[in-house]
Structure 1
């Protein structure tokens, strides 16, 4: 069902899945009013990920929109590993570029799949919002999938909720960066709802739990959060601006043909402390 704001003509069209909504009626090239900004934040808290179709944004315009929701930041892995993320003209903008590999023309090879993760879970203050703008889109694949971590938590049986509610998890990604400990269940500061905070990419072990039990519990939770009933797929179009709340969702990317180009521009807001359940 389509919902209309009682304050401004903001149209929110939820997907038919556990996450995701399209937002219409917002001119992203103009400064956001407090009412519009508040409703976008609420939509992110409700649906985890939102998108705006048919946009035409340059770097500065995307940064301006991003800054309406918090301070922006670059990618910490670029500094820690001296990696290039296709930086834009400003350090807070970078590009995800997948160039065609001519050696595979005619072979229909697939690549580009990215595992389930939530952005910067390996940092002491993980990232809040991520924004991705579609510049060049392959004809098939390269979709972004989102899992609703709030819905996944709420679907657990009560005994398991009680078992995990106050557990902590070690999160780690690179040897050059120290591991961090975050609660396994967190509170979303906007909705007040509880969400699982676990991912196949970063969640390594449960604090003070025997290794076998820790591995078993994490494996179960990782399978649970990626069940199809919690997942929404965003099929990209050029000019899409996709925005998601990392406190609410996991995401991953599907594979696409090596012979095609995929290019996205990314911006992100700074992190904040995780609120334990």
Structure 2
């Protein structure tokens, strides 16, 4: 009996397995730190070709060390992009009852490859996006994402990443002791209508914006073991069991700390860039760009585990 493949992921991986390329052993691959708060640039790698086990391990270690990897001068289709991404994990699948970006396009489940673009069928438009952690409001936030640039505007549309491991380490011992063990609820921004008021902290008099999933405010990275300040700089949140006035002031203090320039790297996109970021160890934001210009990128997000 024949069982034809029907999902984009199965088809992409079957197509990749049928290619005649020899695996890359990494001998011509360089990983060079940006010299800034985080990030390393990867050159000499072709994302269309299979990777050796040693090269995959090397890239995963580099991600733990640098939090984002910038692959330059890539040219690949959706199938190859998806196959390359899955060297680093399974594709993120949110619960059907917890909406995320692009959920509405496919019966509650976003496509494997999400168009992050200001063209028809794309998402996020051309406005500013404040520093955030993707899928933080879900029970199992994504572990990371890969974003691939196909078209970039002449100005604006730059992406910044923030090192939330370094931000935690820079806190005073007293503040570290104060926040250790606290649980944070990040409320789902997709449950608010466009243009609706978006408070930055939930007060007791406000009805909760849907169900919340508490996660540690100080998270442990599952592979590196680093402690992370797992908090976005914007969005409605609540500290569990903490007086609202105290909690709101504490969150405001921590958010101001996260925005200090020593924790930030800004990336100016070039066509062919793939940036792979650790969604567990970083925030990311975007500057606005002219609505008359096209910005077309594609994103694959990877599954994560329960924060602890």
Q: TM bucket by the smaller chain?
A: 0.7 to 0.9
Match of 1:59 in 2: 78
Match of 1:225 in 2: 258
**TM, length-normalised to structure 1:** 0.86
The 2-side partners of 1:273 and 1:75 are apart by: 13
* Structure 1 residue 78 displacement after superposition: 10
Alpha-carbon contact 2:183-2:214 (below 8 Å) kept? yes
Q: 1:149-168 to 2 correspondence within 5 Å?
A: 149-168=164-183
Name the SS of the counterpart of 1:45 in structure 2: helix
* Structure 1 residue 12 displacement after superposition: 1.2
The 1-side partners of 2:210 and 2:243 are apart by: 24
Match of 2:48 in 1: 29
Name the SS of the counterpart of 1:96 in structure 2: strand
Over the residues paired in the alignment, what is the CA RMSD in angstroms?
Answer: 2.4
Cα deviation code 1:101-123 (max 9, x no counterpart): xxxxxxxxx94211110111001
Of 257, 267, 272, the match for 2:290:
257
Match of 2:149 in 1: 134
Match of 2:68 in 1: 49
Cα deviation code 1:79-102 (max 9, x no counterpart): 8386349xxxx93112012149xx
- Kindly indicate whether residue 120 of structure 2 is the aligned counterpart of residue 91 of structure 1: no
Distance 1:202 1:34, change over 3 A: farther
Structure 2, unaligned stretches of length 5 or more? 1-24, 192-208
Alpha-carbon contact 2:233-2:258 (below 8 Å) kept? no
* Structure 1 residue 26 displacement after superposition: 1.9
Match of 2:219 in 1: 186
* Structure 1 residue 191 displacement after superposition: 1.5
Structure number with the bigger relative contact order (C-alpha 8 A, sep ≥ 6) is: 1
Distance 1:198 1:77, change over 3 A: farther
| Deviates further, 176-185 or 125-134 | 176-185
Tell me which structure has the larger Cα radius of gyration: 2
**TM, length-normalised to structure 2:** 0.78
- Kindly indicate whether residue 131 of structure 2 is the aligned counterpart of residue 112 of structure 1: no
